[in-house]
Amino acid sequence: MPTIGRIDVLQLRPRIYWRSMLNRRAFSLCITAVFLSGVTAVAHHGSNVSYQLDKTIALTGTVTEWEFVNPHPQIYFDVKNESGEVAHWAAELLPTPSMMKNMQVGWSRTTMKPGDQIQLVCNPSRVAGAKACLAKELQVNGKAWPLAGGPGGPKGKQ
Amino acid sequence: MRPSILLAVTALSIFGQAKPDFDPHDLSGHWNRTSRFQTFSNVFSGQGATQGTAEAPLTAAGKVRYEANKPGYGPRASPPALGNDPMGTCDPLGIPRLLNTEVISPHQTLEIVQVPGRMIQFFEWHHDWREVFTDGRALPAADKIDFTWNGTSVGRWEDNVFVVDSIGFDDRTWLDKFGYPHSEEMRLQERYRRVDKDTLELTMTLTDPETYSRPWVSDTKIFRIDRDKSKRWDEQIYCVPTEEYKFNQRVRDEAGGKGAGK
């Protein structure tokens, strides 16, 4: 993907994007998308190099530990396969605890406790066999918990 | 038009102008950087578009240090497990990285407080702070410098621009999250200008002949005042070494292929 630097975009505007209101709106949406992608990049070190952001996996498991701490909250959980073997997994959440608090949906250090059942959609590691992933969607005991949005939370869907 | 009417119109245009609704010498308040450029220069760090648009004028020695730094962001990003970003071990970020990196809403803010003789900047990240002396003192002589994470700074007004000159930076810090280095010889000049009641601009120039072949000028950082800051839930955003270490060991290392186990 060619670089989209601020200078490049400003140079393009008068020539291409401001020819009509329709194109102006398209330009605005494009810029918004670029900025929103930056929002997620703000919060996380190396997410696009540690995880495959273009792929997701679905996991169902039992919480063993919930760490609502900086720099990113973490869920540790056991996943049982069809033959009954248990694998221990870790999932990190992209927003920081302060971002999640400011979403005003009730995130706290008591959101989960050992024994809770979770359903998770997450980006897998780039390392084959690694049992760590980046959470995208989360349900705890059947209740969905958003990972973005709200009054003071990170904008846009992760 | 009659002369009397013309005079009245002229007087209105001169005296009727509204006073600025801000004091350009008042920089106090909570500020969020809104420009998404998290690097010292205009290198775009947005996810998915991480190639630089401008390259640093690194010297040969500077390039060696740059290559030794393994950031988690930008065109040279590596998994945190394999990197050496000081942030990953909760080391102080120092100046100018504190200004370049973590002062973006809703992440955390920069607060400026002006008191007689000093301007103080508070950074929510780490609950770090720095003093800029405005009492007319000079920067220390070369043989009197104490090297510190945030350097030693003095400030003065040039018209409506607050100019901060600094020296004495500990060279373990990076300029930004892309891993640009500096030496202890670095001198930094920050120029702050309050554009309107809601907007603050900052440009920086660093001079470090050991690391950069010419003075390097930053892009213009734009900050917006955050008057709702007190309405937000405010966590004490410390980087806690024990928490960071556990996270590195149990998640980052596993995701990055170190596989230390959980």
Model confidence pLDDT, tens digit, residues B156-168:
999 999 999 999 9
Contact (Cβ atoms closer than 8 angstroms) between residue B155 and residue B132: yes
Question: Is the CB of residue B39 less than 8 Å away from at least one CB of chain A?
Answer: no
Name the residue among B46, B104, B240 with its Cβ closest to that of A70.
B240
Q: Are strands B152-158 and B161-167 parallel, antiparallel or unpaired?
A: antiparallel
Q: To the nearest 10°, report the CA torsion of B38, B39, B44, B47.
A: -50
Q: Which residue in A1, A3, A51 has the most chain B C-beta atoms within 10 A of its own C-beta, making it the best mutation to test that interface?
A: A3
Instruction: Give per-residue pLDDT as tens, A20-67.
Output: 333 434 333 333 333 333 333 334 566 778 899 999 999 999 999 999
CA distances from A137 to A4, A94, A131, B36 (A): 29, 11, 17, 26
Is there a contact between B48 and A154 if contact means CB atoms under 8 Å apart? Answer: no
pLDDT above 90: percentage of residues in chain B: 54
Name the residue among A40, A50, A67 with its Cβ closest to that of B47.
A40
Of B105-114, B154-163, B210-219, the range with the highest mean pLDDT is: B154-163
Q: Nearest-CA residue of chain B relative to A93?
A: B251
Reported residue count of chain B is 262
Instruction: Give per-residue pLDDT as tens, A66-79.
Output: 999 988 999 999 99
Average pLDDT over residues B203-209: 96
pLDDT band per the 50, 70, 90 thresholds, residue B52? very low
Is there a contact between A70 and B239 if contact means CB atoms under 8 Å apart? Answer: yes
A-chain residues near B54 (CB < 8 A): 5
Spell out the long-range contacts of B135-144 with Cβ–Cβ below 8 A and sequence spacing 24 or more: B139/B165, B139/B166, B139/B167, B140/B167, B140/B168
Name the residue among A4, A126, A131 with its Cβ closest to that of B44.
A4
pLDDT of residue A31: 32
Closest-CA residue to B87 (of B168, B153, B178): B178
Listed by number, the residues of chain B in 146-205 with a beta carbon closer than 8 Å to a beta carbon of chain A are: 177
Name the residue among A5, A35, A97 with its Cβ closest to that of B42.
A5
